[in-house]
Amino acid sequence: MYTGKNPIAIRSQECFVESLLELMKSKSLFKITIKDICEKANLSRQTFYQLFSTKEDVLRFYIKRSFEEIYPDSKVEYHENVKLIAQYFLKFLMENDDFVRMLVENRIAYLIVDELAMSIRNIGNKANIDSKKENNEYEVAFIAGGISSTIFYWLKSDKKISEEKLIDLITKMSI
């Protein structure tokens, strides 16, 4: 996936995202072709493959950009970061309800959890947590899985506790 700063390339990536999301409103991701996305975006397949490898990469790009927009560059203590991560992850899910529903319907909600894990890894690196530690990846997987599963459960259970109480619960369980 292209990660550079070229504004034309970034705009093309955004066009592919918009096109794919629009197509997913009426069609399963697995029935959408790269050709469909390119036609909808009025861009070439060559451009698509210069920027992305797969349809899932388009969705990863969207999730990553959305996470970057809502999660500030924070250098607070690790346990405070867990609280912030949970808050911003919940905010992302609430603000992108239709998108999240499409991912769940297409059985690819794991893309959100993968991006959450990447964010946790990046935060750990910024907080100077020993990234060479042997168990680091297990910790990231545990925290990402715990936060996402708890919030998904909360959403499915008709939000029986307040958002604040949910975030406090996640923070306490993660320390």
Is residue 97 within a helix (H) or strand (E), and if so which, with residue range?
Answer: helix 97-105
What is the b/e burial string over 38-60, where b = at least 16 CB atoms within 10 angstroms of the residue's CB? bebbebeeebbeebbeebbbbbb
Q: How far apart are CA 113 and CA 147, in angstroms?
A: 9
Positions in the chain whose pLDDT score sits under 50: none
Nearest-CA neighbor of 150 among 79, 83, 86, 60? 86
User: What structural domains does the chain harbor?
Assistant: 7-57 (1.10.10.60), 71-174 (no CATH)
Q: Are 147 and 83 in contact (CB under 8 A)?
A: no
Token digits of residue 40: 């909808």
Q: Report how far apart, in Å, the C-alpha atoms of 139 and of each of 76, 147, 152, 155 are.
A: 19, 12, 20, 24
pLDDT at position 54: 97
Q: What's the CA angle centered on 89, arms 33 and 103, to 5 degrees?
A: 25
How large is the greatest C-alpha to C-alpha distance in the chain, in angstroms?
49
Helices (H) and strands (E) in the chain, counts: 9, 0
- pLDDT value, residue 100: 87
Judge contact between 101 and 94, C-beta under 8 A: no
**Mean pLDDT for the chain overall:** 86
